[in-house]
Structure 1
């Protein structure tokens, strides 16, 4: 197997602080390499250092050899000519990588035209084939804001591959996707490897790591704590952290008996029907949410889970039916935890400034911010950074902190843990359910993971795939 990339003693620094200890690795044609670890472990920073995309304020050291060309990582000017042509990057947040005003087909066609040199007619045809291969034929003319989180991720994946690069760096490529779509994207990544390409994947998903195989490195607090063939590491972990990571899979969580809420409903939906693009998502849906009740929403990508939550919050209108709220409850106490955390924060403001603005606007207790930061395992240093300068998992926990400051009576949590590693996912899910029980907050959780919902929700609503003939809805005990 030929070596396409060699990284030697790569480290990342913030001033005098070392964020990632020196790591050496090689990407070879036909063999995947996966970095597995919790949010903030340094796996994304390591990949960004290797490909030359570190955020401002951070510095890399070490050397990378690409296509026989040695690059000094202390300099930032060596990688640009290789992006798209030799290295294709699938970033962690599709919302930060896609042009918000450009339809999906055009975003993919640009890579075919500008990098591969195809005519625009050929590029558009190639983009349509890419979309069809990902099950996104109907999304060709939609902007990113008209796509679900999973659909946006698949569009970003197609755009990253359009230039024909032999090395693909995929940062959490399956987050926000249902199990079927996750396996589909994993197959696409493996197809790239089988065709003689190299693959570096950053993930917290054990299922993805198992399916990719190849070599696996487990990271914790900026250093590699275990490394070897993926099948061997996951079957016989030697490090305690790797064992804890495997044990944190939702399938291993204890089964908690349902605890239905009591009292007058916080929110009531009656006879809701919604269609999108000529397709009925759900019909005749009725739902009461009582204080302290935890309800799960499950279903494949694009089936209407996020739309249902938006209708309940008044962010979208149903075709039929109505939603009523409990009397005397302020509007700001009905809140949404977005699937894509960049949606919750202004891009150009430091995160601490955004939280301070919220405190001033609603006259909240700012002293709760440090308490919640500690409870969510967030470093105070993150408050000085902008949204694009923190990991997806850190940004999701900051978005949760922002909402908890408002003491919501109803929280629609749209895939709240899709960007979190297994250990942090268990902690955040536990925190959400704990807050719901303690404060009487009604909690509606959307997830692609039925195991997570069955072990955390009092009941689960399953929405059918929009591709089936006729919408289906079923309630079940958790």
Structure 2
């Protein structure tokens, strides 16, 4: 069994500070390797170091051997697309915002694989059909849901036939059926090479099998065959990670006092269309102050669109929406985005963004530090911009920014999709506490029915 990728004492530094402790591993042909761990543990840094994509200011030490040869960054970059490919954590960073999805996949078959235009189009359409995007190939990325954009990015990235595939959180934001389909697609695409997957999803790690590495805070804590390690974990952190899966939670939503709780929003026979397609019709429900309401359904069924309509970001096609909180400011009806990079400017630091918020809304700056501690956000991230922190850290920062505005209604669109199970449980509990303590209604979208069932007072199924 040939070794396609070999790392010897690879470490990542910012200045003299070690972010990723020296690590050695081998990726063998036909043997999947999965790295499981908490948000911010250094998993993505390792993948970026392998590809030669580390952000400015970070350095790497150790040897990276690819296809039997120790290569420089430039030599590894020359293999992109044909021999090595990385699926980024954020699909928006890898897709052309102005090009139809089918054309983005077609171009790979046409210019990387060298097929004819007609054959490339047929193969692209077939690929999109395999990942549930039939009829959506003509859309631009901004016209797709977050889960659909993720599937498009994976399809385009793997179309070049690379032998080494590095997949960074490839299933985040996907419902269970789509998640399993993506795992099977990656397994099929890597059958002639090998697959290195970064994930915080224990179910994905179990499904992929092969060798499993568990990381925490830049260190390797446990290593072994996936099935054996997950069934009999030795390290306390691994056991904690497995126990934090939503299926193992107890119910965390406290009872609300419905008799004394006032209606905040009433939806009467709503119909919503998007892109000429009816997403749902005749939908009625009431949301009370302090209530946590869950929305479940397959990717692309209209969960995010419903939340946007409740915030007046999308018009409803029919029916009536009534809001009862007359004293709330417009900015207190808030949204936590599924893809947090779309909600932040990369031209300034996160600290500057907070300073602007404090100045604009006259917020007590002393509130920031306790909330950062509660959300496990290190003070150092305030010096970086949104592209220089992990996806999980950025999502927690988005929650921090929302909490500072004292929302009366918070639409949380997959707020834990980038977080490891331990942090996801803590963040979900924080949102539930917000609903209780601040009498704020929370509309929670998730593809995980176990999370919704154990968290919400009522559930809307689409």
Structure 2 stretches of 5 or more lacking a match? none
Match of 1:143 among 131, 140, 145: 140
Contact 2:253–2:432 (8 Å) recurs in 1: no
Q: Which residue of 1 aligns with 2:262?
A: 264
Contact 1:272–1:318 (8 Å) recurs in 2: yes
- 1:258 deviates by 5.7
Q: Which moved more, 1:17-26 or 1:122-131?
A: 122-131
Query: For 1:451 and 1:97, how far apart are their aligned partners in 2?
Result: 31
Contact 1:86–1:165 (8 Å) recurs in 2: yes
Question: Counterparts of 1:282-293 in structure 2 under 5 Å?
Answer: 282-293=280-291
Contact 2:7–2:64 (8 Å) recurs in 1: yes
- 1:122 deviates by 3.2
Contact 1:258–1:459 (8 Å) recurs in 2: no
- 1:329 deviates by 1.7
> For the structure 1 residues 214 and 409, does the alpha-carbon distance in structure 2 shift closer, same or farther, using more than 3 Å as the test?
same
Secondary structure of the corresponding residue to residue 5 of structure 1: strand
Q: Which residue of 2 aligns with 1:466?
A: none
Q: Which residue of 1 aligns with 2:157?
A: 160
> For the structure 1 residues 79 and 283, does the alpha-carbon distance in structure 2 shift closer, same or farther, using more than 3 Å as the test?
same
Q: Which residue of 1 aligns with 2:187?
A: 190
- 1:320 deviates by 0.2
Q: Which residue of 2 aligns with 1:281?
A: 279
Contact 2:158–2:189 (8 Å) recurs in 1: no
- 1:106 deviates by 2.1
Q: Which residue of 2 aligns with 1:391?
A: 390
Contact 2:3–2:68 (8 Å) recurs in 1: no
Q: Which residue of 1 aligns with 2:86?
A: 89
Q: Which residue of 1 aligns with 2:8?
A: 8
State the Cα deviation string for residues 423-469 of structure 1 (Å, max 9, x = none).
00000000000111000000110000010011111111111xxxxxx
Secondary structure of the corresponding residue to residue 63 of structure 1: strand
Q: Which residue of 2 aligns with 1:419?
A: 418
- 1:324 deviates by 2.0
Q: How many residues align?
A: 459
State the Cα deviation string for residues 351-371 of structure 1 (Å, max 9, x = none).
222222222222222222222
Query: For 1:220 and 1:402, how far apart are their aligned partners in 2?
Result: 26
Q: Which residue of 2 aligns with 1:470?
A: none
Secondary structure of the corresponding residue to residue 455 of structure 2: coil
Query: For 1:122 and 1:362, how far apart are their aligned partners in 2?
Result: 56
Query: For 1:451 and 1:96, how far apart are their aligned partners in 2?
Result: 30
Q: Which residue of 2 aligns with 1:336?
A: 335
State the Cα deviation string for residues 31-82 of structure 1 (Å, max 9, x = none).
110000000111111111112111111111111111232125xxx4332101
Q: Which residue of 2 aligns with 1:320?
A: 318
Contact 1:10–1:50 (8 Å) recurs in 2: no
Query: For 2:121 and 2:69, how far apart are their aligned partners in 1?
Result: 33
- 1:112 deviates by 2.0
Secondary structure of the corresponding residue to residue 56 of structure 2: coil
Query: For 1:114 and 1:293, how far apart are their aligned partners in 2?
Result: 52
Q: Which moved more, 1:93-102 or 1:328-337?
A: 93-102
Q: Give the RMSD, CA atoms, in angstroms.
A: 1.4
Q: Which residue of 1 aligns with 2:447?
A: 448
> For the structure 1 residues 102 and 64, does the alpha-carbon distance in structure 2 shift closer, same or farther, using more than 3 Å as the test?
same
Q: Which moved more, 1:141-150 or 1:109-118?
A: 109-118
Secondary structure of the corresponding residue to residue 310 of structure 1: helix
Q: Which residue of 2 aligns with 1:254?
A: 250
Query: For 1:117 and 1:429, how far apart are their aligned partners in 2?
Result: 48
Secondary structure of the corresponding residue to residue 78 of structure 1: helix
Contact 2:296–2:447 (8 Å) recurs in 1: yes
Contact 1:359–1:366 (8 Å) recurs in 2: yes
Contact 1:150–1:177 (8 Å) recurs in 2: yes
TM-score by length of 2: 0.96
State the Cα deviation string for residues 153-208 of structure 1 (Å, max 9, x = none).
00110111121101110000000000000000011112134x22110000000110
Q: Which residue of 2 aligns with 1:358?
A: 357
Q: Which moved more, 1:115-124 or 1:218-227?
A: 115-124
State the Cα deviation string for residues 310-349 of structure 1 (Å, max 9, x = none).
1100000111012222222211110000111111101322
TM-score by length of 1: 0.93
Q: Which residue of 2 aligns with 1:403?
A: 402
Q: Which moved more, 1:226-235 or 1:257-266?
A: 257-266
Contact 2:32–2:195 (8 Å) recurs in 1: yes
Contact 1:21–1:223 (8 Å) recurs in 2: yes
Query: For 1:9 and 1:65, how far apart are their aligned partners in 2?
Result: 11
Query: For 1:404 and 1:353, how far apart are their aligned partners in 2?
Result: 17
State the Cα deviation string for residues 109-163 of structure 1 (Å, max 9, x = none).
2322332223434333322221111111222111111100000000110111121
- 1:12 deviates by 0.5
Match of 2:212 among 213, 216, 236: 216
Query: For 1:454 and 1:83, how far apart are their aligned partners in 2?
Result: 43
Secondary structure of the corresponding residue to residue 138 of structure 1: coil
Secondary structure of the corresponding residue to residue 137 of structure 1: coil
Query: For 2:166 and 2:111, how far apart are their aligned partners in 1?
Result: 20
Match of 2:231 among 235, 256, 263: 235
Q: Which residue of 2 aligns with 1:171?
A: 168
Query: For 1:436 and 1:264, how far apart are their aligned partners in 2?
Result: 13
Query: For 2:238 and 2:404, how far apart are their aligned partners in 1?
Result: 34
Query: For 2:254 and 2:380, how far apart are their aligned partners in 1?
Result: 39
Contact 1:237–1:243 (8 Å) recurs in 2: yes
